[in-house]
Amino acid sequence: MTEITKIGVIGAGQMGAGIAQVCAVAGLDVVLNDVTEERIDHGLATISGNLARLVERKQIDEAAVQTAMSHVGRATAYEEFADCDLVIEAATENESVKQTIFKKASAVLRPGAMLATNTSSISVTRLAASTGRPEQFIGIHFMNPVPRMQLVELIRGIATDETTFTAAKQLIARLGKTAIVSEDFPAFIVNRILLPMINEAIYTLYEGVGSVEAIDTALRLGANHPMGPLQLADFIGLDTVLSIMQILHEGLADSKYRPCPLLVKYVEAGWLGRKTQRGFYDYRSGTPVPTR
C-alpha cells in the first residue's frame, strides 16, 4: 500500500463534508461525491463556511483556507475515484444503500486502493463482503462534528489485512486525531454506550418521569454533559438514533436495547430533529422550544 495522498468521499452531508474538510486541511487531495451536483455544492459550501468561521475565531488564517480549499474537488461520477488511494463512504446509515455504493466504487478503483465506511453501527465484515476487496476494507468512524471531535474509531472486518489497518492508523495520525480500535460488534464502542443512554432518556420522557427541559437540564448540570440527551438526539437525527437502536436490538438480541415507542412515533411523524426543524424541540422560531 502506497502512502495515502488522494481521498474520495461519498456523501457530502454533515459527516462527509467534515471528513473532506479535515483531510484537506491536513494537505490531502479530496474529491467529494453525492447523488446530485446540488448536494456536492452544498457540501463544498459547508466546508467553506466552516473554514471561514475558524478564521473569525483566529484559529487559522485566510492563506490556510485558500490552501485547504485548493485541495478539495468534485467527483460527479464514481469513475473520478480511479486515482484515489482511499475512498470513504459517509452515506445514510442504511446497509443496502452502503452495499450498493461499495459495489459501484470497488469496480472503478485501482488494485490495492482502500475502501472505508464511516458507519456508526453496521457490521464492517458484512459491508466488506460487498466490495470484492475485503482485505482493503476497514471501518473509519469519525465523530460528529468531524472537525471538532478528536476521536476516530477504527474497526477491522474479519478479512481486513494488516497493511490496510496500518494505513488507516497513519491517516488518522496525520489528521491530528486519536484512534481507538473496536471489535466489529453492533454500534462499536461509543454508540454502544451513548445511544442506549439517549434511548433511556426518551423512555424517561415517555413514562412521564420528567419533561424534555427537566431531563436535559438534569444531565447537563447533574452529570456535566455538554448538552442534554434529547438535545443531542435532535442533533444526531432521530432517524439515525432509531436505526442504531434497531441494529443493537437485532444484533445483540437483548430487550434492554428495544427502541422507545416514543422515538418510533417521532420518526414516523417525520420529526427527525434539527434537520427537519422539529424533534424533541421545535426549532422553527429560531429559539428551540420543547415539544413535550
| Catalytic, out of 141, 182, 243, 249 | 141
The answer for residues whose C-beta is within 8 angstroms of residue 2's C-beta and 6 or more apart is: 85, 112
In the sheet with 151-156, reading across from the earlier edge strand, the strands are 72-74, 29-33, 6-10, 86-89, 114-117, 137-142, 151-156, 178-182
Report residue 272 as a C-alpha cell.
427527525
| Catalytic, out of 120, 121, 123, 130 | 120
| Catalytic, out of 33, 50, 71, 153 | 153
Rounded alpha-carbon distances, angstroms, from residue 88 to 39, 85, 194, 249, 253: 17, 10, 24, 27, 30
- Catalytic annotation on 141? yes
- Catalytic annotation on 38? no
* Pairing outcome for strands 151-156 and 114-117: unpaired
| Catalytic, out of 50, 123, 130, 191 | 191
- Catalytic annotation on 153? yes
- Amino acid at residue number 96: S
- Catalytic annotation on 120? yes
Q: Which residues are known to be catalytic?
A: 120, 141, 153, 191
